[in-house]
Amino acid sequence: MDFTFNAYSYFLIFFGAITLFLSWYAYRQDHGAVRLFGLMMLSNAIWSIAYGFELATNNLSDAKFFIDIEYIGITTVPLYWLLFCLKLSGKEYWYKRTLNLSILIIVAAITSILVWTNDYHHLHYKHYFMDTSGPFPLVSIEPGISYRIFTTYFYVLLAIGSYLLISTFRKADSIYKRQNYSIIVAALIPWVTNIAYTFGFRPVENLDLTPFAFAGTITFVAIAVYRYKLFDVLPVAREKVLDLIQDGFLVIDSKYRVIDYNHALRKYLDEPNSKKIIGASIESLFPEQDAFIQCIKKHQSGKVELRLESPLGVHDLEADILYLDENQLSNNATIIKFQDLTHFKQESLRSLGQTEELKKLNQLKDRIFSIIAHDLRGPLVNLSEVLKMISNDEITIEEFKMLSPTLNKDILYTTELLENILHWSRSQLKGYGLNKEYFDLRSMIINEVNYHLPSATSKNVKIIQDVFPGIMVYADMLMIQIVVRNLLSNAIKFCYEGCEIDISSVYNRGKMMLSINDNGVGIKPETVEKLFSGENMSTRGTFNEKGTGLGLVVCKEFMERNEGTITVESELGLGTKFNLFIPFEPGNDDFIKKSDKH
């Protein structure tokens, strides 16, 4: 081959080589869009270098050889350009369809084949010859039908890709504007030049300036690579990834101003919909977080916990601070990741609460076993011994009559204790159901008063019930009866001779409030706090009656299971008032259970 290199050919070969290097550099990056950009640069390099050698040839056959090589790049440039734009705009699903990608590849392949075999059919070039009228020999062509079809295809792919690119970058954060403009300008320079060549705007006749335009492309891409880290962070890819991440991300500069963030960060801010986050100071976004701000200003990397309140709620966060020193650009950046620990902390607190509840339950269980071992065993042993003595004629009938009141008290205490242990144990069993129903509160109270009249009469305690007739409540009657029985028993136990116990009811807080009020010994304030926990050790009554404190634990448990509550008001020396809040109609849980049965 005979070559006469000129300034144009040197220029194209030189910049084609640079483009070839850039395409290799871009393809090495582990990003799909960047690799497609590298392939497009490779096609440009093939086009430029082959065209440079075409301009240096002196005969038509050598020029046609390099034209055939050029078309390897010319036909694949629009293909890679469209794929690059689709990938960058997040629409890669289009070319992942086999049919769509196959059509693009077939058009490129057929065009190249038509160029290579043009001498047999003249579909791409009707006629071409070496024009020597200019400063150096140039190939002059007369386009054929294939040339015009491919040119239309070329511009259609160019237009679609440019539209996708511009519309995508228009939505990107302002922090990426210069980077976005660099890509768009770099991509459009060759296309504008090629359009000018196609429509006849040519400084030198028959000289295609499109490959020369890639010198501008290379310049812009080099700036983007060096100045804006073009291939390190792709704006669209970055936005897609960060917006999918649930953790908040924030990037600040050396002056502690926000230069980037992701959407998840907004939910932690006082103004989640604010448009003034970029450029805002870190102090303004996180006020009253002194420890966090100090860590950043002292350049301390690591994790810091902080608690934030926003319109979306209270958040417990862990901020992970990472510093990036980009010495090449003389710039410092701080990346902060915010992990929301609210759910984990709530679960932890819930677990601690369950652990504490289990601990109290175990303590209560141990106490019950202790009661069974001592308080329950003692009266039974005493009764057994007395019966044995009677059987052996060791005591007289008169002596037995003297012991009988004490034995009677022991038996009543033991019976009460057994009932409470039994009821509490059953309430702790899984699957122990409720039998809620409507029942007459006054009738149940009268029955319980009659049940306690003997013990109240023995202490000369008067029981006055003032529950209005016809009051219906909705609960498990047996459970409420056990609660009332325990409270009446306690009231009698801690009443002096001549005391009164008043029982009344009134509507209160959407429930029926049943009050059992006595003017007995009262309860110490410190004891009131532990009354329903099972921690309180019951004191003896005014007639030395024994108790365990277990009954009130059963009362609280049964009231809660019936969607009610129990409260106490007491003053030492003045008496005690227990209030039971009992539902008088089914609650939401009851409706749900009934609908489940149907």
Residues in the chain, overall count: 598
Q: Write the DSSP symbol of residue 491.
A: H
Segment 55-65 mean pLDDT = 89
Read off the pLDDT of residues 277-329 as tens digits, 9 standing for 90 and up: 878 888 888 888 888 888 888 887 888 888 888 887 888 888 888 876 544 33
Return left, alpha or beta for 522; rule: phi > 0 is left, psi -120 to 50 is alpha, else beta: left
Q: How far is CA 200 from CA 197, 280, 363, in A?
A: 5, 52, 97
Q: Which amino acid is at 409?
A: K
| Percentage of residues of the chain with pLDDT beyond 90 | 17
H, E, C per residue of 511-556: EEEEEEEECCCCCCHHHHHCCCCCCCCCCCCCCCCCCCCHHHHHHH
CB-based contacts of 208: which residues, under 8 Å, 6+ apart?
51, 194, 197
The C-alpha angle with vertex 68 and arms to 214 and 159, in degrees rounded to 5, equals 45
3 state SS of 334: strand
SS3 209: coil
Run of H or E residues at 566? strand 565-571
Is the model more confident about 5 or about 273?
5
Least confident span in 88-102, 329-343, 355-369, 479-493: 355-369
Place of tokens 């679609």: 160
Cα separation, 206 vs 515, whole angstroms: 108
Cβ 334 vs Cβ 300: under 8 Å: no
Q: Nearest-CA neighbor of 264 among 317, 302, 305, 202?
A: 317
* CA-closest candidate to residue 22, choices 270, 224, 218, 250: 218
Low-confidence winner among 254-263, 341-350, 396-405, 531-540 (lowest mean pLDDT) = 531-540
**Alpha helix positions (H), 289-440:** 290-297, 342-371, 377-391, 397-428
Task: Using pLDDT thresholds of 50, 70 and 90, give the confidence band for residue 596.
Answer: very low
Does residue 263 surpass a pLDDT of 50?
yes
Token couple for 190: 């060759």
- Residue 536 pLDDT > 80, yes or no? no
Residues 518 and 507 sit within 8 Å (Cβ to Cβ)? no
The answer to whether the CB of 477 falls within 8 A of the CB of 437 is yes
- Distance (Å, whole) CA 526 – CA 437: 37
Over residues 331-360, the mean pLDDT reads: 77
Q: Which residues pair with 582 in a beta bridge?
A: 512
SS3 of residue 59 by DSSP: coil
Which of 266-275, 391-400, 510-519 ranks highest by mean pLDDT? 510-519
Provide the CB-side half-sphere exposure for 8 (13 A, CA).
23
pLDDT tens sequence across 203-218: 666 677 777 776 666 6
Comparing CA positions, the residue from 183, 308, 278 lying closest to residue 237 is 183
- In terms of pTM, does the model score above 0.85? no
Task: Give the DSSP H or E segment for 322.
Answer: strand 313-326
Residue 541's contacts (CB-CB under 8 Å, 6 or more residues apart) are 492, 493, 494, 547
Please report which confidence band the pLDDT of residue 511 belongs to, taking 50, 70 and 90 as the band edges: very high
What pLDDT sits at residue 576?
A: 93
φ, ψ of residue 330 in degrees (nearest 5): 55, 50
Tokens 């009249």 correspond to 453
How confident is the model at residue 271, as a pLDDT?
Answer: 79
Q: Alpha helix (H) ranges present in 117-176?
A: 118-121, 145-170
Lowest mean pLDDT among 292-306, 311-325, 427-441, 567-581: 427-441
Query: What is the arithmetic mean of pLDDT over 422-426?
Result: 68
DSSP per position, 252-294: EETTSBEEEE-GGGGGGSSSTT-S--TT-BHHHHSTT-HHHHH
Give the DSSP H/E element, type plus range, for residue 45: helix 32-56
Contact 247, 337 (CB under 8 A): yes
Q: How many other CB atoms are found less than 10 A from the CB of residue 241?
A: 12
User: Measured on CA atoms in the order 473, 478, 483, 484, is the torsion positive or negative?
Assistant: positive
Look up tokens 């303590």; give the residue: 363
At 329 the pLDDT is: 35
